[in-house]
């Protein structure tokens, strides 16, 4: 089977291997076990170093069909991107024509173009992974809404199964609800019981961006410290807001209470989850918040905003906390747990048991069915 992946993910080469963002490649490597050849239509970064959050594809017959990156964030980038569209569309069309199975990665500009091109191949087997928020009531860019409409339109999109995060009302027949995973069955090591005595370790894991609101987490921790609580925040990730966070830490004398670790590999993050009591996740927009699933897997209780499928993951409050994105809500929620330690233990255990059902092994078992009978 010739398997074609159409993706906006930025790829890199190193020592003859092809690399990209680790969670995405980890999942794709499961798919690639069941195909003969792979063609990836995606942008390729030249002279960019591989980072700790990149891993390599695992396949003996893999080829990347390089296309330019496109952006529509300003008038200038939009004009430049419009001139690139014919080249990208032609590359996608050629790849789809040769494909036995077409796999789209959405949402994104390249995924949108793939959604349009796949209409020309109604008889080919297809799958799409919609890694964004499928909630029909969420506020999203028009391009995302259009991709969702096109993917679930069974007249224009034929022979395709669309994998989405969570269960939503009024879904079409080609929509497959699922929860993804980060760990294999053989990684299910026991986790010691965590008590709320002594220092409380809090985590932020994710991009240091405006949308993830890491500064809000830092401010919440600062207020807890002012109230006399023994808490420490570890931040894993990089992004544009790092300098803002560093300035806030310096201004408020938080260097002993907040540590910026930068991007780290899976093993380092796993150890961080195992030591932490809470994950604070105040994201404005999300698809599958892998940090929440990973935290639950290691008895680290999530405190999160009501975004995407998070309420479903947290059992609508039975396996964690769903709060408003403000300092007062963060502080009040911590007070609830500090005053009711049995409630904390109960939720931690429920989150732990739920998350360990969803392993990479379970996801992989479904892939042959998706490849052969969409």
* Cβ–Cβ < 8 Å for 331, 227: yes
Helices 109-117 and 75-98, packing angle to 10 deg: 40
* Share of residues in the chain with pLDDT > 70 (%): 99
Considering the domain architecture, whether residues 82 and 125 belong to the same structural domain is answered as: yes
Q: SS in 3 state form for the chain?
A: CEEEEECCCCEEEECCEEEEEHHHHHHHHHHHCCCCEEEEEECECCCCCCCCCEEECCCCCEEEEECCCCCCCCHHHHHHHHHHHHHHHHHHHHHHHHCCEEEEEECCHHHHHHHHHHHHCCCCEEEEEECCCCCCCCCCCHHHHHHHHHHCCCCCCCCEEEEEECCCCCCCCCEEEECCCCCCHHHCCCCCCCCCCCCEEEEEECCCCCCCCHHHHHHHHHHHHHCCCCEEEEEECCCCCHHHHHHHHHHCCCCCCEEEEECCCHHHHHHHHHHCCEEEECCCCCCCCHHHHHHHHCCCEEEECCCCCHHHHCHHHCCCEECCCCHHHHHHHHHHHHHCHHHHHHHHHHHHHHHCCCCHHHHHHHHHHHHHCC
Q: In this structure, are 92 and 156 located in the same domain? A: yes
Write out pLDDT tens, residues 55-76. Answer: 999 999 999 999 999 988 889 9
Statement to judge: residues 213 and 155 lie in one domain: no
CA dihedral 220, 225, 229, 234 (to 10 degrees): 60
Distance CA 332, CA 321 (A): 11
Both structure tokens of 5: 């992946």
The percent of residues in the chain predicted with pLDDT above 90, rounded, is: 86
| pLDDT for the residue 136 | 86
Angle, helices 290-297 vs 266-275, to 10°: value is 60
Could you give the CA distance from residue 117 to residue 100 in angstroms, rounded to a whole number? 15
| CA pseudo-torsion sign 147, 149, 155, 157 | positive
Q: How many domains does the chain have?
A: 2
pLDDT in tens, 234-293: 999 999 999 999 999 999 999 999 999 999 999 999 999 999 999 999 998 776 788 999
On whether both 62 and 153 belong to a single domain, the answer is yes
Lowest mean pLDDT among 32-46, 124-138, 239-253, 343-357: 124-138
Out of 220-229, 291-300, 305-314, least confident range: 305-314
List, for residues 143-193, the tens digit of each pLDDT value: 999 999 999 999 999 999 999 988 888 788 999 988 778 899 999 999 999
Rg (CA), the chain: 21
**Which pLDDT belongs to residue 317?**
96
Q: How far apart are CA 328 and CA 374, in angstroms?
A: 47
What is the rounded average pLDDT of the residues 124-130? 96
Tokens of 72: 């529509």
Residue 289 burial (C-beta neighbours within 10 Å; 0-12, 13-18, 19+)? buried
Greater pLDDT, 178 or 356:
356
**Which pLDDT score is estimated for 59?**
97
Read off the pLDDT band of 374 (50, 70, 90): low
What the block records as the tokens of 198 is: 């002594």
Same domain for 155 and 42 = yes
The enclosing domain of 291 has a CATH number of: 3.40.50.2000
Same domain, 239 and 128: no
How much is the pTM? 0.88
- Give me the sheet containing 258-262, strands edge to edge: 258-262, 231-236, 200-205, 278-281, 301-304, 321-322
| 3 state SS of 176 | strand
Evaluate if residue 206 carries a pLDDT over 90.
Answer: yes
Give me the pLDDT at residue 17, please.
94
CATH code of the domain containing 36? 3.40.50
- Shared-domain flag, residues 158 and 201: no
SS3 content of the chain, % helix, strand, coil (to 5): 40, 20, 40
Please give the structure tokens belonging to residue 311.
């309420």
Same domain, 347 and 204: yes
H or E segment and range at residue 221: helix 214-226
Residue 107 preceded by cis peptide, ω within 30: yes
Note down the domain range covering 35: 2-181+359-372
Same domain as 345, residue 262: yes
One domain for residues 249 and 209? yes
- 10, 134: one domain: yes
- Check whether residue 202 and residue 82 sit in a common domain: no
Which structure tokens are listed for 285?
Answer: 């927009």
């Amino acid at each position: 089977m010739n398997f074609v992946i159409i993706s906006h993910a930025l790829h890199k080469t190193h020592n003859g291997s092809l690399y990209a963002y680790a969670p995405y490649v980890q999942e794709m490597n499961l798919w690639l076990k069941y195909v003969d050849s792979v063609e990836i239509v995606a942008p390729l970064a030249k002279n960019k170093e591989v980072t700790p959050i990149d891993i390599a594809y695992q396949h003996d017959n893999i080829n990347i069909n390089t296309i330019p990156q496109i952006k529509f964030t300003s008038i200038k980038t939009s004009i430049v991107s419009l001139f690139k569209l014919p080249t990208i569309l032609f590359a996608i069309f050629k790849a789809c024509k040769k494909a036995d199975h077409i796999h789209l990665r959405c949402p994104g500009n390249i995924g949108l173009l793939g959604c349009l091109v796949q209409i020309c191949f109604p008889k080919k087997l297809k799958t799409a992974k919609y890694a964004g928020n499928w909630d029909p009531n969420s506020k999203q860019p028009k391009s995302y809404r259009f991709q969702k409409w096109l993917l679930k339109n069974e007249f224009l999109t034929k022979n395709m199964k669309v994998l989405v995060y969570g269960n939503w009302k009024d879904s079409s027949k080609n929509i497959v609800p699922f929860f993804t995973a980060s760990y294999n069955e053989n990684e299910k090591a026991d986790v010691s019981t965590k008590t709320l005595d002594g220092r409380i370790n809090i985590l932020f894991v994710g991009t240091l961006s405006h949308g993830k609101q890491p500064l809000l987490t830092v401010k919440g921790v600062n207020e807890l410290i002012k109230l006399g609580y023994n808490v420490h925040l570890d931040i894993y990730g990089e992004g544009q807001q790092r300098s803002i966070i560093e300035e806030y830490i310096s201004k408020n004398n938080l260097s002993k209470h907040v540590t910026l670790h930068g991007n780290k590999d899976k093993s380092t993050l796993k150890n961080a989850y195992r030591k932490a009591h809470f994950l604070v996740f105040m994201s404005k927009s999300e698809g599958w918040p892998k940090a929440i699933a990973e935290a639950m897997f290691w008895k680290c209780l999530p405190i999160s905003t009501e975004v995407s499928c998070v309420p479903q993951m947290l059992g609508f409050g039975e396996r964690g906390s769903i709060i408003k994105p403000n300092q007062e809500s963060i502080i009040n929620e911590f007070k609830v747990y500090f005053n009711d330690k049995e409630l904390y233990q109960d939720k931690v255990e429920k989150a732990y048991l739920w998350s360990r059902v969803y392993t990479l092994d379970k996801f992989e078992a479904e892939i042959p069915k998706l490849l052969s009978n969409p």
